[in-house]
Amino acid sequence: MGVNVAVVGVTGAVGTEMLKVLERRAFPVETLRPLASSRSAGKDVVFRKEKVAIQELREDSFEGIDIALFSAGGDISKKFVPHAVKSNCVVVDNTSAFRMDEEVPLVVPEVNSYKIADHKGIIANPNCSTIQLVLVLKPLHDTVKIKRVVVSTYQAVSGAGLIAIEELKKETESLLDKRKNYERNVFPHQIAFNILPQIPQSNAFMQNGYTEEEMKMIMETKKILDDPSFRITTTTVRVPVFRCHSESVNIETQSKISVDETRDLLSRAEGLVVLDDPTRQLYPLASTAIGKDDTFVGRIREDESLENGLNLWIVSDNLLKGAALNAVQIAEKLLDTVSG
């Protein structure tokens, strides 16, 4: 049975990937309704080798739609998601607008798909960095109980959208050509050949000194693992990479788990691929994770400063598992729930 699907923010980096993932995974789309701002209305997207006209996002855009995938920013979601729900449409929202709402499931299908059945019209897609992190934390937490986690992220500019990708390209070209008159519009400082410990790029710092991104990861991880007391701290960093987020993760566990046991445990976890052979310089790389559905983990080693400590390196495509793929997987599980 076909499903009528709307994609909100279809011209953005994540929206573009959503169309590709829907097609690649043969999601049973009966009718596709691409939605964007008035600037894009009338233009075409290509889906299943056919052109489909983009429609302007309006309050009545969801009549007859079964599932809407939102990825157009938190303000847009706050305004239009309620209208979609009133139209009896189930929303999978890729923004932070509803993630911490107690009545909205925050879902990574490999970790807590059972939460989907609790939805009241909205299911939230977690932050891209949170998704790849909890895929690794969940099996460890279930096995040896995690006491504390310290995360440092190395996040690609695509996490800030297509305009951020363009800014990195143009600024890099400008610096290589020794032109000093480049005017940046996205990042507060030079991003080419530089590293910025600030995400998002504006209004990022909170009263406690953390950024919004860091607090998102902390709060979302606790919600997904269903453990409000879970101890985690983060530092999120933007790096001059176009695509794929990387994370350095330090984990303290209650009971001992060896490196070999960790490799075996994670290699059996859904959605994870272990790449960990130091003798061959084999470990996850952003350059090789692009376009891959899996999340990759490596550099697994004991933290010799702790009695029960591990260090890990995690890499995932932030536009796929970190956004579009996870959203479509949620929609797939939603259909399973309905048909079941």
Percent of the chain exceeding pLDDT 70 equals 99
97 and 151 housed in the same domain:
no
The answer on pLDDT for 200 being more than 70 is yes
Residues 105 and 152 in one domain: no
Q: Is the pLDDT confidence value at 340 over 70? A: no
b/e map 189-209, b = 16+ CB within 10 Å: ebbbeeebebbbbeebeeeee
- The confidence band for 202, taking pLDDT boundaries of 50, 70 and 90, is confident
For the chain, what is the mean pLDDT?
96
93 with 147, same domain: the answer is no
Q: Are 106 and 126 in contact (CB under 8 A)?
A: yes
pLDDT of the residue at 339: 63
Average pLDDT over residues 250-265: 98
From the candidates 83, 119, 141, 245, give the one annotated as an active-site residue. 245
Q: How many separate domains does the chain show? A: 2
256 and 220 share a domain? yes
119, 104 contact by CB (below 8 A): yes
Q: Which of 175-189, 239-253, 255-269 has the lowest mean pLDDT?
A: 175-189
Same domain, 150 and 61: no
pLDDT of residue 178: 83
189 catalytically annotated: no
Listed residue (312, 267, 313, 308) closest to 146, CA to CA: 308
* Structural domain span for residue 190: 130-317
Mean pLDDT of 141-145: 97
User: pLDDT confidence of 14, banded at 50, 70, 90?
Assistant: very high
Verify whether residue 128 is a known catalytic residue: yes
91 and 178 fall within a common domain = no
Tens of pLDDT, residues 214-228: 999 999 999 999 999
User: Does position 55 have pLDDT exceeding 60, yes or no?
Assistant: yes
pLDDT value of residue 167: 97
Write down the pLDDT at residue 201. 87
- Domain with 134 in it: what CATH number? 3.30.360.10
Q: CB of 250 within 8 A of CB of 310?
A: yes
160 & 118 share domain: no
Task: Choose, from 83, 119, 128, 141, the residue flagged as catalytic.
Answer: 128
Whole-number pLDDT of residue 217: 98
Residue 183 pLDDT: 86
As a whole-number percent, the residues of the chain with pLDDT over 90 amount to: 94
Stretch 275-289: mean pLDDT? 97
Same domain, 331 and 201: no
Three-state secondary structure string covering the chain: CCEEEEEECCCCHHHHHHHHHHHHCCCCEEEEEEEECCCCCCCEEEECCEEEECEECCCCCCCCCCEEEECCCHHHHHHHHHHHHHCCCEEEECCCCCCCCCCCCECCHHHHHHHHHHCCCEEECCCHHHHHHHHHHHHHHHHHCEEEEEEEEEECHHHHCHHHHHHHHHHHHHHHCCCCCCCCCCCCCCCCCCCECCCCCCCCECCCCCEHHHHHHHHHHHHHCCCCCCCEEEECCECCCCCCEEEEEEEEECCCCCHHHHHHHHHCCCCEEECCEHHHCECCCHHHHCCCCCEEEEEEEECCCCCCEEEEEEEECCCHHHHHHHHHHHHHHHHHHHHC
Residue 181 has pLDDT above 80, yes or no: no
Per-residue model confidence as pLDDT tens digits over 116-136: 999 999 999 999 999 999 999
Residues 118 and 137 in one domain: no
Shared-domain flag, residues 106 and 188: no
- 95 vs 99: CA distance, rounded Å: 8
Q: Are residues 254 and 218 in the same domain?
A: yes
Residue 13 sits in a domain whose CATH number is 3.40.50.720
Are residues 67 and 171 located together in one domain of the fold? no
